[in-house]
């Protein structure tokens, strides 16, 4: 972002624009918006560069950035029912989630937690394993931090706000679904959910699992499921598909 602004300022530093005219143009941008988010950002960078060229750079940049962020958030809300603005640190942690699995090199004997192969409900979940945990209303991404015996676990939110304490929950085995640990071979059909299967999957840019249907299976070239989440179509009726890593797709509950 800093490098983009520096380049933009270098290009436009000779151009003089009045504060009033620039603010009017920015206000029009915010009011009208643009259905293309990339175009919104491109136009926004132009306005930011022009504002930054003025004397009061910090005030101008702050105003421009807040206006652009509000505009993009508004457009996302209109097109995506699951979208919720997140703090940059939270978004960065989600983007940094490790989607890799340990490779399993055999099709003859597929262990539990290899792709879509479930762990028997009578089996305990080891400490440190990632799970989908049902908190009474929704399935969330968590990690086992303690096994207290007699089917009781302490689960911690896998991602949390850096400024707040980690949330822990006392849960039972029946409210937990362990995530896959092993990556099956791509031709191991028994370890993948068939097309049309109902599953729970981590919705992109969230830490929550929602019902979805498998539209396409993972391949070596595209190692993600193509899913259609329930109630996730575009406003004009077009079907929306999402790509989700094998690690974050579990059986429907």
The CA–CA distances, whole Å, from 207 to 40, 47, 54, 116 equal 27, 34, 41, 20
pLDDT in tens, 66-75: 555 555 555 5
Stated pTM of the model:
0.64
The mean pLDDT of 81-110, rounded to a whole number, is 79
Helix (H, G, I), strand (E, B), or coil: what is residue 54?
coil
pLDDT in tens, 210-225: 999 999 999 999 999 9
Q: Model confidence at 96, in pLDDT bands (50, 70, 90)? A: confident
The mean pLDDT of 141-156, rounded to a whole number, is 94
Is the predicted pLDDT of residue 15 greater than 60, yes or no?
A: no
DSSP letters spanning 77-143: HHH-TT-----HHHHHHHHT-----EE---SSSPPTTBTT-PPPTTSPPPTT-EEEEE-SS-EEEEE
Q: Is 241 exposed, middle or buried (0-12, 13-18, 19+ CB in 10 A)?
A: middle
pLDDT in tens, 166-210: 689 999 999 999 999 999 999 999 999 999 999 999 999 999 999
Would you mind telling me the total number of residues written for the chain in this entry?
253
Number of H helices, E strands in the chain: 5, 12
At 29 the pLDDT is 46
Contact 119, 126 (CB under 8 A): no
Q: What is the sign, positive or negative, of the torsion defined by CA atoms of 122, 128, 131, 135?
A: positive
């Amino acid at each position: 972002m800093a490098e983009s602004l520096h380049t933009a300022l270098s290009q436009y530093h000779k151009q003089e624009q009045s504060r009033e005219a620039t603010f009017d143009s920015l206000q029009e941008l915010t009011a009208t918006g643009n259905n293309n988010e990339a175009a919104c950002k491109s136009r926004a960078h132009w306005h930011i560069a022009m504002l930054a060229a003025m004397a009061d750079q910090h005030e101008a940049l702050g105003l421009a950035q807040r206006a652009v962020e509000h505009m993009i958030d508004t457009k996302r809300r209109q097109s995506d029912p699951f979208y919720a603005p997140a703090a940059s640190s939270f978004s960065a942690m989600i983007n940094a989630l490790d989607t890799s699995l340990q490779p399993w090199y055999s099709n003859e004997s597929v262990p539990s937690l290899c792709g879509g192969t479930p762990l028997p409900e009578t089996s305990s979940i080891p400490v440190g394993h990632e799970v989908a945990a049902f908190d009474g209303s929704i399935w969330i991404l968590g990690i086992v931090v303690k096994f207290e015996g007699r089917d009781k676990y302490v689960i911690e939110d896998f991602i949390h706000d850096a400024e707040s304490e980690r949330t822990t929950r006392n849960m039972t085995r029946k409210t937990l679904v362990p995530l896959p640990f092993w990556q099956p071979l791509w031709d191991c059909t028994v370890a993948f959910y068939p097309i049309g299967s109902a599953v729970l999957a981590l919705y992109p840019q969230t830490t929550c699992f929602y019902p979805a249907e498998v539209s396409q299976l993972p391949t070596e070239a595209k190692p993600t499921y193509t899913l259609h989440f329930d109630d996730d179509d575009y406003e004009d009726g077009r079907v929306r598909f999402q790509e989700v890593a094998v690690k974050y797709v579990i059986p429907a509950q």
